[in-house]
Structure 1
Amino acid sequence: MITAFFTYFLLGLVLSLTPGAMTVQMVNQALRKGFLSGWFVGLGGMTIDLALITLVYFGFSYYLAHPMVELIMWFIGSIFLLVIGIDSLKESKNNVDFSGTTPKKSLAKAYTSGFLMAVSPGNIVFWIGIFGPLLISSINGENQAHFIIVALGILLGILTHDIGLMSIIHFSRRFLNKTLLKWAAIVAAIILFGFSVYFGYEFITQLITYV
């Protein structure tokens, strides 16, 4: 059990190092608003991860991979990324607070952005394609605890990555000037717009194929 836990812990940690829209948003929030804001973006994404683990456990992975569900997710993801990118662009005009305090409203907004960004085909396909088979193979009628060990290992690996990355960003941001932080937010917005366009392209392509 301990070996399995550390194996999947390392898997979750390594795979979460892959750069994507979620990482961009986490870094952007941590740079501008500190550790908690960036971490709450990750927690929002992990909420969807936990939901997907639950759905895989109960055998809903087949429905998540349905073309119509994937089509809807591409569309929703494109809109969400566009909105979050616009927010990042607006934030680039605001002053950065280095006091270390983060308003509750900002934390709720950060959590929501992470939650919405995780509702995307990329994230769902990632879970179904990589973690899904591992989780399904770990379901054993005689030992259900193994599934929990595998799931906890993966989630804690992701959590460790998020906390580590946010800690580095939080303590290094004080050495950056306001101009660099402004351009970091602008670059983040551009990247998010790029992901939004990509999601929109996938939506249109699959819609044409589906119709």
Structure 2
Amino acid sequence: MNNLEAKGIVMEIYLKYFLIGLAIAMPVGAITVEMTKQGLKNGFVHGWAVGLGGMTIDLMLILALYFGFASVLALPYIQIPLWIVGAGFLAYLGYDSIKNADKDITPSNERAQKSFFSTYRNGLFVAVSPGNLVFWISVFGAVLSQSYISSNTGSFVVAASGVMSGILLHDLGLLSIVSVTRKVMSRRMIQWVSVIAGMMLLGFSLYFLYEFVVSIIQLFEK
């Protein structure tokens, strides 16, 4: 295989997983809700902090898969507790979003007082879910096994870079739209967005709780 063919294969893998990353980030999930809320209330940087928190968990999962922990992450005894932990985090964020809907709103022409770390931490909390684990294990399972067989981990690294790039593009695009929208929204409108976002986060929390109960039932039925 010459260099041109090798580069073509690398680009094909990258683009394929770039589109997968973009597609997986498109549906409205808990991370998207929290990013939008923070972006409207405190600006681009704080919305971006939530996205970085989520991507940090994604990167940790990629490294875990790379070092062979995929089978461990797939164990019910590992995934089931994460459902209840994720439900708790989302319930807290949802409650806080509704309770403090009229607080921490920074006008677009002022600098936000909220710390970058606090919104980054929210992103970490929201991203802790078995759904995230299942995605990474399913997306990279075949690539990882193939890299072990061929003793070439390059395809795994390229695929991981592609997915992360797709997620990054989605986050930047979303927050750019939010930043423009924020300039024409009144304080009252932003408050209502925060309340709606809180209700959606509580909804995701209830879904996580439901999955936790279902997983427990299935575990005892085996």
Q: Same fold by TM-score, threshold 0.5 exceeded?
A: yes
Q: Distance in 2 between matches of 1:146 and 1:134?
A: 7
What pairs with 1:16-55 in structure 2 (closer than 5 Å)?
16-55=25-64
Report the CA distance between 1:116 and its aligned residue: 1.2
Residues 138, 150 of structure 1: 8 Å contact kept: no
Which consecutive residues of structure 1, in runs of 5 or more, have no partner in the other structure? none
Report the AA paired with residue 66 of structure 2. Answer: Y
Q: Give secondary structure in 2 for the equivalent of 1:175.
A: coil
Q: CA 1:34/1:147 → structure 2, altered by over 3 Å: closer, same or farther?
A: same
Q: Is the 1:42–1:114 Cα contact (8 Å) retained in structure 2? A: yes
**Distance in 2 between residues matched to 1:178 and 1:75, nearest whole Å:** 34
Shift of 1:3: 2.6
For 1:129 and 1:147, locate their aligned partners in 2 and report how far apart those are by CA, in whole Å. 13
Aligned amino acid, residue 182 of structure 1 = Q
Q: Tell me the residue number matched to 2:112.
A: 102
Aligned match for 2:66, one of 57, 70, 75: 57
Residue 82 (str. 1) matches residue 91 (str. 2): yes
Aligned residue identity for 1:29: Q
Matching residue of 1:178: 187
Pair 134,100 (structure 1): closer, same or farther in 2 beyond 3 Å:
farther
**In the alignment, which residue of structure 1 is the partner of 2:158?**
149
Contact in 1 for aligned 2:42/2:104 (Cα 8 Å): no
Partner deviation per Cα, 1:48-93 (whole Å, 9 max, x = no partner): 1111111111121111111111110001001000111122113312
- C-alpha distance in structure 2 between counterparts of 1:136 and 1:40, whole Å: 33
TM-score calculated relative to the size of structure 1: 0.92
Which residue in 2 is equivalent to 1:191?
A: 200
- Report the structure number with the largest CA radius of gyration: 2
The Cα of 1:138 is off from its aligned counterpart by 4.5
CA gap 1:208/1:10 in 2 versus in 1, 3 angstroms: closer
Judge conservation of contact 2:94–2:201 (CA < 8 Å) in 1.
Answer: yes
Residues 1:163 and 2:202 aligned together: no
Aligned to 2:7: none
Cα shift at 1:6: 2.1
Contact 2:140 2:156 in 1 (8 A): no
Query: SS of the residue aligned with 2:183?
Result: helix
TM-score, scaled relative to structure 2: 0.87
Deviations 1:170-190 (A, max 9, x none): 111111112211110000000
- How far is 1:150 from its partner? 1.3
> Which residue among 123, 127, 131 is the counterpart of 2:136?
127
Paired residue total? 210
**Which amino acid in 1 is paired with 2:146?**
S
Aligned-pair CA distance for 1:100? 5.0
CA RMSD of aligned residues (A): 1.8
Is the alpha carbon distance of 1:110 and 1:139 closer, same or farther for their aligned partners in structure 2, counting shifts above 3 Å?
farther
For residues 133 and 110 of structure 1, the distance between their equivalents in structure 2, rounded to whole angstroms, comes to: 34
Can you list the C-alpha shifts for 1:109-160, whole angstroms capped at 9, x where unaligned? 1111111111111111122123433444345644322221111111111111
